[in-house]
A and B are shown apart, each in its own frame.
Chain A
Amino acid sequence: MAQYNLNINGKTHQVDVDPNTPLLWVLRDHLDLVGTKFGCGIAQCGACTVHVEGNAIRSCSYPVSAIEDKKVVTIEGLSEKGDHPVQKAWLEHDVPQCGYCQSGQIMTAVSLLNQNSNPTDEEISQAMNGNICRCGTYTRIKAAIKTASKSI
Chain B
Amino acid sequence: MTLIEKKLNRRSFLKVSALAGGGMMLSFSWLAGCKPTNEEILTMPDEWFEINSYIKIGENGAVTLFNPNPEFGQNVKTSLPMILAEELDIDWKKVFVEQADFYPDRFDRQFTGGSNSVRSSWKPLRTAGATARQLIINAASQTWNVPVEEITTSMGTVEHKSSGKKAGYGEMASLAGTLDAPDPETVNLKEIPDFKIIGKSKKNVDGNKIVTGKPLFALDHKVEGMKYASIVHPPAFGMKLKSFDKNSVTSLPGIQDAFELKIFKDDYGRNFFDTTTFPVIIAIVGNSTWEVLQAKKSLKVEWEKASDSTFPMAGRGGQNREIKVLGGLENSSTHKEKMAEYISKPGNIHRKDGDPETAFKQASRIIERTYSAPFLAHNTMEPMNAFADVKDDQAIIYAPTQAPELIRQTLSSSLGLPVENIQINLARMGGGFGRRAYSHHLTEAALISQKIKAPVKMVYTREDDMTAGVYRPTYSATYRAALDANNNLLGLHVKAGGIPESPLHANRFPAGAIDNYLAESWQIDSNITIGAFRAPRSNFIAGAEQSFLDELAEEMGKDPIEFRLELLKRAETNPVGERNDYDPKRYAGVLELVREKSNWSNVPSGIARGVSAYFCHNSYVAEVVDISIKNKQPVVESVFAAVDCGIVINPDAAANMGEGAIVDGIGNAFFGEMTFEDGVPTKSNFDKYRMIRHNEAPKKIEVHFVENNEAPTGLGEPLFPPIFAALGNSLYKATGKRLYEQPFQPQILQIENLNM
Residue positions of A touching B, CB distance < 8 A: 1, 17-18, 21-22, 25, 28-30, 32-42, 44-45, 47, 74-76, 78-79, 82, 87, 90-91, 94-103, 106, 121, 124-126, 128-142
Contact = CB atoms under 8 A, between A and B. Distances in A.
Contacts of B68: none
Q: Which of A34, A40, A125, A137 has the most CB of B within 10 A?
A: A40
Interface stretch (B208-216, B267-275, B404-412): B208-216
Interface stretch (B57-65, B563-571, B688-696): B688-696
B211 A82 contact: yes
B39 to A, nearest CB: 11
Contacts of B662: 136
B352 interface: no
Contact of B75 (A30, A40, A97): A97
A137 B23 CA distance: 37
Contacts of B201: 94
A139 B700 CA distance: 7
A36 B213 contact: yes
B396 to A, nearest CB: 19
B219 A34 contact: yes
A127 to B, nearest CB: 8
B72 interface: yes
A91 B429 CA distance: 19
B235 interface: no
B701 A29 contact: no
Interface in B678-716: 685-687, 691-695, 697-701
A45 to B, nearest CB: 5
Given A37-B381, A139-B700, A87 B219 contact: no
B458 to A, nearest CB: 13
20 contacts: A1-B253, A21-B288, A21-B290, A41-B685, A42-B685, A79-B212, A91-B208, A96-B206, A96-B211, A97-B657, A100-B381, A101-B381, A132-B693, A134-B379, A134-B380, A135-B431, A135-B660, A136-B661, A139-B699, A140-B656
B289 A25 contact: yes
A123 to B, nearest CB: 11
B212 A87 contact: yes
A91 B213 contact: no
B126 to A, nearest CB: 24
B239 to A, nearest CB: 23
A50 B602 CA distance: 46
A136 B663 contact: yes
Interface of B: 72-75, 201, 203-204, 206-208, 210-217, 219-220, 222, 228, 253, 288-291, 293, 379-383, 428-433, 459, 461-463, 652-653, 656-657, 659-664, 667, 685-687, 691-695, 697-701
Contacts of B215: 34-35
B74 A102 contact: no
A98 B381 contact: yes
B212 A75 contact: yes
A138 B657 contact: no
A90 B210 CA distance: 10
A25 B656 contact: no
Contacts of A1: 253
A126 B695 contact: yes
Contacts of B380: 98, 100, 134
Contacts of B695: 125-126, 129
A94 B694 contact: no
B685 A136 contact: no
Given A74-B213, A134-B379, A136-B667, 16 more contacts: A18-B290, A35-B213, A41-B463, A75-B211, A78-B212, A96-B207, A97-B656, A99-B428, A100-B217, A125-B694, A129-B695, A130-B693, A131-B693, A131-B694, A134-B691, A136-B663
The 9 closest A-B pairs by CB, nearest first: A35-B213, A136-B663, A100-B430, A98-B73, A75-B213, A97-B73, A136-B660, A138-B697, A99-B210
Given A41-B461, A94-B653, A136-B661, A106 B204 contact: no
B289 A99 contact: no
Contacts of A140: 656, 659
Nearest to B653: A94
B686 A40 contact: yes
B213 A103 contact: yes
Given A28-B289, A134-B691, A136-B697, A100 B382 contact: yes
B289 A29 contact: yes
Nearest to B700: A139
Contact of A129 (B211, B694, B699): B694
B290 A102 contact: no
A98 B430 contact: yes
B288 A139 contact: no
Nearest to B429: A98
Contacts of B210: 96, 99, 102-103
A142 B201 CA distance: 20
Contacts of A41: 293, 461-463, 685
Contacts of B211: 75, 82, 87, 90-91, 96, 102-103, 106
Contact of B694 (A21, A40, A134, A142): A142
A94 B429 contact: no
Contacts of B203: 91, 94
Contacts of B73: 96-99, 135
Contacts of A78: 212
Q: Which of B206, B207, B379, B462 has the most CB of A within 10 A?
A: B207
B206 A99 contact: yes
Contact of A141 (B461, B462, B694): B694
